[in-house]
Amino acid sequence: MKNTYCLSLILLVMLLCGCYHEEVFEVKAGFNAEVVNNNYSVPVLVKISNNTIGAEDYAWTMDGANPASSTNRDPGTLQYDTPGTYTIHLEARNQYGGKNSRDTTFSFDAAIRMAFTISNSGSWYPDATAHITNNTVGATTYQWSFPGGIPSSSTQQFPGNVVFSTPGTYTISLKAGNGRVSYTKDTTVTVLPDLVNDFSVTWAAEDNDMEVPFTAYLQNNCVSATSLHWSMPGGSPGSSAATASAVMYTAPGTYTVSLTASNDKKSISRSKSFTLYANSNLYRFNNVHLGINTAQNTIGSCFSSLLGKVLKVDEINNTNGSSIDFVFFGFDSSFSINKFISPSDVMSYTFARVIPGAITTGIINRQESCGCGTSMTSSQFDTMTDDTLLKSMTISTTSVGAAEFDNTAIPRIILFRTQDGRKGAIKVKQFVAAGQQSYVVCDIKVMKNA
């Protein structure tokens, strides 16, 4: 009985052992790799999400990344600092012998760093040449835009020179890319105004008669000129390179002043001519308006032959007061009382203040009743072209003639002599009644020098 039991037990064990098979648990490796912000230009961040099934152990290999390997289920976020093509490899295992792996590959680009400079070997006057130096890195395509320039665009990495022929501000733009992303950089250049040659010839009021000796003042009004050359044949000096110049002429004739204005791009010459006459030693002024008492500060009543103009009361100062030859006093718009007076006597005739540096001028207001033995007719005044007649006349600096005149005799000739001995004549041609702004119209002739 005992032997039979043992045999039955052995058979049962054998039966059980014959039915056993070893079972392996499967591993399915998987992960997501996301490029952060879809930025494929280094530095690049890649975020790993592990979705492997059935694994317990993980071996990550991430060449070129930081970190380069990991045994964590989730290695976190990887950083790539060098452009290139890289593979992320995962090998997953479990204790039952299951294993699986997965790879994914990325290509990363160099970072695009935009940089270019503009230079000009010459000036920025037209035609201006802009030389472009491209220092951009990481790009594979280039789109240049130069509106207003020649050429107006380029796809070359190094576009070279662009010429701008018209003054203005221009935008130079570069769009650089690598096939996935692109960036744009702009800069501006300013082309300066083109060369313009312009100058003026002026002279002092005492030279308005264009008689020698004559001094011309030359003023450069050029635009974009870097060098100037004046040519003044017949004058002194005969040439100059100054910005402004003064030139004296001592002989009658027709003279030409020329200016050559230049910059590094071009040169332009321009000329002006004028005619000078022999010295008559006589200033001549036509249609001079002199206001009555109430128009002293609107029309003016003080006359200066040296300045060649009428001065209003508020214009008189310490500098010009001594140049006033005479003053007109008209009592009112009826012109019943009129008189030319010495600048030194204005305070006796409703003037508001003393003329600074006032001279004493002898004046003959009424030749017909002065008893001074000196006279000039209107015809003589009109035909006077030099100082010959005035030189022959005796006019005292203290001569005053009759006190005043009215408007019944037209024209009227008034004679005067300034403190420095210069003699002159005033021809009153018209009395213009305009209320408080009434005035007389005169022609005046006076010696330049005694």
Show the domains of the chain with their CATH numbers: 31-108 (2.60.40.10), 116-191 (2.60.40.10), 201-276 (2.60.40.10), 282-447 (no CATH)
Instruction: Show Cβ contacts of residue 118 under 8 Å, excluding neighbours closer than 6 positions.
Output: 130, 131, 132, 133, 172, 187, 189
pLDDT of residue 14: 42
What does the alpha-carbon distance between residue 83 and residue 234 come to, in Å, rounded to a whole number?
A: 78
pLDDT of residue 372: 78
**pLDDT tens digit string along 340-355?**
999 999 999 988 889 9
**pLDDT tens digit string along 213-267?**
999 999 999 999 999 999 999 999 999 999 999 999 999 999 999 999 999 999 9
Among residues 404, 401, 409, the alpha carbon closest in space to that of 431 is found at 409
203-210, Cβ contacts within 8 angstroms, sequence gap of 24 or more: 205/306, 205/307, 205/308, 205/309, 206/283, 206/305, 206/306, 206/308, 206/448, 208/283, 208/308, 209/277, 209/280, 209/282, 209/283, 209/284, 210/274, 210/275, 210/276, 210/277
Cα Rg, the chain, nearest whole Å: 52
**pLDDT tens digit string along 25-83?**
899 999 999 999 999 999 999 999 999 999 999 999 999 999 999 999 999 999 999 99
What does the alpha-carbon distance between residue 218 and residue 224 come to, in Å, rounded to a whole number?
A: 18
Neighbours of 333 (CB within 10 A): 19
pLDDT of residue 374: 85
Amino acid letter for position 286? N
Mean pLDDT by 10-residue block, N- to C-terminus, for the chain (450 residues)?
Answer: 44 42 78 94 95 95 96 95 95 94 95 95 95 96 97 97 97 96 96 97 91 97 97 98 96 98 97 97 96 96 96 96 97 96 93 93 90 89 96 78 83 96 97 98 96
